[in-house]
Amino acid sequence: MARVLFYTGLSLLAVSAALLYLPTYFSFILAIIISALLIFLIIFHKKIVFNGLKFLLGVLLLFVITGLITHSLKIKPAEQMVGYDAEIVGTVCDYPIHYDTYSVYFVETEQITLIEQEGKTAPPNIPQKLKLRLSDINKIGADVFDKLHLTVQFNDLDIYRSSSLANKVYAGGYIVSLEEKLGENRPFYACFYDLRQWLNDLLFDNMYFDDAAVVSAVLLGDRSNLNPDFESDAKAAGITHILVVSGMHLGIIFQLLSKIFSALRIGRGKAEFLMLGAIFSMTAICGFTPSILRAALTYVIIVIGNLIFRKPDPLNSLGAATIIILFFNPLGFGNISLLLSLFSTFGLLCICPILETVFINLISKITTPKKLTRAIVFSLSQSISATLATMPICIVYLGYLSLVAPITNLFTGYAASLLTSFSFIGVILLSLPSILKAAATLPLFVIYSLVRYIVKVTNLCANISFATIPARNEYLISLAILALSVPLLMWAKKASKKAKLRISLKLCSSTLVLLSVSSALFFYNISPKYEIAVPNVGKGTNVLIKTEANVLSIGAGDSPTDYNKIESQMAQMCKRSIDHIILPSADKSFAAGAPEMILQNPKAKIIYPNFGDYTEKLDYISNNNFKAFNRKISFTVDGAEIITYADIGTTINFADRSIVIYSGTGDINTLFSSSNNKKRILICANNLNQKIEYELSDCIISGSDDAKKAIADALDTQKINYKTVGPKTISIEF
């Protein structure tokens, strides 16, 4: 039972993925299989020797049952509320996220009352206590722990489903109106949120804004005030972990407190209990985010081990933390920050020592490694191991890989550690009475210098031409083959007494590595250059077209909140910003989401007609790259010819096919006459009352439900096959 907790945590992570992404009946089948294995093991336990297997299977069975209960009592009833209006009484349970034109609130409800609708009967037995994700364009101005009486309209979680369920959010919707504020509803840990706000005020009152924003992220986990350019550079340079309070930060503070307690000669038992209090306080101040929660649980296990004079195994501690977090939420696999935290920690524990030994052995053949050399090797090994361990997550969820991460971390790692230490000391000194605050002068100067250094190095590394590369899912094949080749190589090394076996194993491993590199190059070369995505933005319209170097957005939806869905789809396309915003119509269905899109993509080129409901608003907020036109405009970008007709639509001509996007008014055949390829894809929204005189290779319809039905009827009459945009995005690659 040496590392049964680690293997159990790993198994729970895999089962959590199954609970989140596979149909519910799969969980029933899984529960039956695990039960059968457990019964078999109990009956034949004397003949089968496998330490900890019964414990592992028992925990797995309990976990699957917990997941099924969560689905039955929370998720399924919440899904039945989609489409209904309701009055709710609940408390804002987290800091609201404020955007330029709307806000997002997370509310824990105490009471939900569905409003009966004509022709629809409200579902019975709806859950009363749920955590909701609510978008708000009315600017209700609520704060954390405010108790509210709201009218909301429930909708499908749609693209937020996985991440929402991973954060125990089972329903989503829009705030229709604020009926009344019922005052503050402050549970016990609300005092820690007040403390966080007080510390934030302390930082911003005594430091430059940008410096205070970085310290607030490093120490308090508050990234809301970070400079967007620095945050973007940090992502490209692969050092976002510095700005997320995690095991690194907690470890540094853990060591500082240990030294302080030791200097004050506080007894072992008292020091450990004080340490537990400090860990809980910091976790609460940072909002119980998954990364800090995972690290806190690990350190709690270490402290408990010290109290009972037992040295915990690091991998078992990681496994135990994983078990606790996932039992708290069986669908936690969808939380990217949790996955990054777990995988990076695993890399530091398992891969880092191997890399460090390899590097030191290589250097030893040339010269005797000195203390500085060993420090550099250790830092580099940490960065590479964390990058390797988190690579699958980056490929699947983020869509890009940072090639400069090891270099950036080498130059900023120790600076980040020092920044955490001095920030902690500086905050303590700043909280002292005014007369003693002068002692904070030196720490503040050091903090200022360290922040400037980190920002400068990050900017330099992020702007290297090869800083990041797009990563597609097929890279996982190469990664899997490479991962399998490592144990084969280790096995070959141990079997070195038999030369033939050694040579054959090395050849086999070399072949696997060669195949992995070849397959990566092969998939890279055959990867589609272009991608079309039509996300579901309700009654509005949006089409994203990704070329080799640009993303074009045709339409912006009919609501400011639509940009959330559009931005999420861009992340899946390995692109984080829009280069061209093309609006064939300046009316609501195409342009209502444009203000938010323009504000979030300030460098985008904007093209729209100089008449329509939203023209004046677009004229006011557009940047220097905007271009208003009368009837028609055409231009070329990245090998594609783009022709836009006001209030008709847009035609995009590629080398081998044309994309025709019809906005619902005017002559559709005008768009087709501008297409110079026989292979045509029609994307139609809102209306179609004309006969299509051209051959189509594909057809997609979107917009409101009534419009989609009318378009579908028109296409059925013309015997044209089509796809309908539903909850999931429709994508085409070529």
State CA 503 to chain mean position distance. 44
- When pLDDT is averaged across residues 399-407 and rounded to a whole number, the result is 79
Q: 338: which 2 tokens?
A: 């949790």
More confident residue, 228 or 660: 660
CA-CA distance, 653 to 697, in Å (whole number)? 14
CATH of the domain at 132: 2.40.50
On whether the CB atoms of residues 185 and 204 are closer than 8 A, the answer is no
Which residues form the domain of 511?
475-526
Residue 477 has pLDDT above 70, yes or no: no
DSSP state of 560: T
What's the confidence (pLDDT) of residue 504?
Answer: 53
- When pLDDT is averaged across residues 287-311 and rounded to a whole number, the result is 75
CATH of the domain at 541: 3.60.15.10
What's the confidence (pLDDT) of residue 517?
Answer: 46
What's the confidence (pLDDT) of residue 150?
Answer: 92
Helix (H, G, I), strand (E, B) or coil at 114: strand
Q: Are residues 520 and 539 in the same domain?
A: no
Q: Are residues 182 and 197 in the same domain?
A: no
- When pLDDT is averaged across residues 324-353 and rounded to a whole number, the result is 84
Residue 89 has pLDDT above 90, yes or no: yes
More confident residue, 404 or 511: 404
Tens digits of per-residue pLDDT, 343-353?
Answer: 888 888 888 88
Q: Are residues 320 and 432 in the same domain?
A: yes
Q: Are residues 71 and 149 in the same domain?
A: no
The dihedral sign for the CA sequence 139, 145, 150, 156: positive
On whether the CB atoms of residues 246 and 292 are closer than 8 A, the answer is yes
Q: Are residues 202 and 247 in the same domain?
A: yes
Task: Examine the fold and report which residue of 455, 470, 485 is the final residue of a domain before the chain moves on.
Answer: 470
Q: Are residues 130 and 203 in the same domain?
A: no
Among 356-360, 405-409, 482-486, whose mean pLDDT is lowest?
482-486
Q: Are residues 505 and 568 in the same domain?
A: no
What's the confidence (pLDDT) of residue 529?
Answer: 66
State CA 436 to chain mean position distance. 42
Pairing mode of beta strands 680-685, 698-702: parallel
Q: How many CB atoms lie within 10 A of CB 552?
A: 25
On whether the CB atoms of residues 535 and 625 are closer than 8 A, the answer is no
Residue 155 has pLDDT above 80, yes or no: no
Degrees to nearest 5, angle at CA 261 with 257 and 264: 140
Q: Are residues 413 and 345 in the same domain?
A: yes
The chain-wide mean pLDDT, for the chain, equals 79
**Alpha helix (H) residue ranges in 207-267:** 209-220, 228-237, 247-263
Q: How many CB atoms lie within 10 A of CB 617?
A: 16
Rank 139-148, 236-245, 534-543 by mean pLDDT and report only the highest. 139-148
On whether the CB atoms of residues 300 and 320 are closer than 8 A, the answer is no
Q: pLDDT category, 602, cuts 50, 70, 90?
A: confident
Q: Are residues 332 and 457 in the same domain?
A: yes
CA-CA distance, 130 to 395, in Å (whole number)? 32
| % of the chain surpassing 70 pLDDT | 86
- When pLDDT is averaged across residues 465-469 and rounded to a whole number, the result is 71
More confident residue, 497 or 273: 273
Q: 631: which 2 tokens?
A: 């009837």
Give me the number of domains the chain comprises.
5
More confident residue, 505 or 687: 687
Task: Examine the fold and report which residue of 145, 164, 187 is the final residue of a domain before the chain moves on.
Answer: 187
What's the confidence (pLDDT) of residue 486?
Answer: 61
- When pLDDT is averaged across residues 470-482 and rounded to a whole number, the result is 62
Residue 502 has pLDDT above 60, yes or no: no
Tens digits of per-residue pLDDT, 339-390?
Answer: 888 888 888 888 888 888 888 888 888 887 788 888 888 888 888 888 878 8
What's the confidence (pLDDT) of residue 1?
Answer: 45
What's the confidence (pLDDT) of residue 78?
Answer: 86
Q: 236: which 2 tokens?
A: 């490209």
Tens digits of per-residue pLDDT, 232-242?
Answer: 788 878 888 88
CA-CA distance, 560 to 594, in Å (whole number)? 7
Q: Are residues 335 and 282 in the same domain?
A: yes
What's the confidence (pLDDT) of residue 525?
Answer: 47
Residues in the chain: 734
Q: Rounded to the nearest 10 degrees, what angle do helices 290-307 and 314-328 cross at? A: 130
Ramachandran angles phi, psi of 107, nearest 5°:
-125, 130
Task: Examine the fold and report which residue of 510, 526, 542 is the final residue of a domain before the chain moves on.
Answer: 526
Residue 194 has pLDDT above 50, yes or no: yes
Q: 207: which 2 tokens?
A: 């430091």
Q: Are residues 435 and 482 in the same domain?
A: no
CA-CA distance, 274 to 341, in Å (whole number)? 25
What's the confidence (pLDDT) of residue 490?
Answer: 57
Tens digits of per-residue pLDDT, 43-80?
Answer: 776 655 555 777 888 888 898 899 888 888 888 888 88
What's the confidence (pLDDT) of residue 624?
Answer: 64
| % of the chain surpassing 90 pLDDT | 4
- Please name every residue paired with 645 in a beta bridge, in sequence order, or none if there are none: 632, 649
Tens digits of per-residue pLDDT, 575-593?
Answer: 667 888 898 888 877 888 8
Tens digits of per-residue pLDDT, 683-705?
Answer: 987 777 778 888 888 888 888 77
Residue 492 has pLDDT above 60, yes or no: no
Residue 503 has pLDDT above 70, yes or no: no
What's the confidence (pLDDT) of residue 10?
Answer: 82
Q: Are residues 29 and 113 in the same domain?
A: no
Rank 430-444, 558-572, 583-597, 645-659 by mean pLDDT and report only the highest. 645-659
Q: 294: which 2 tokens?
A: 């995972």
What's the confidence (pLDDT) of residue 479?
Answer: 63
Tens digits of per-residue pLDDT, 615-626?
Answer: 777 777 765 667
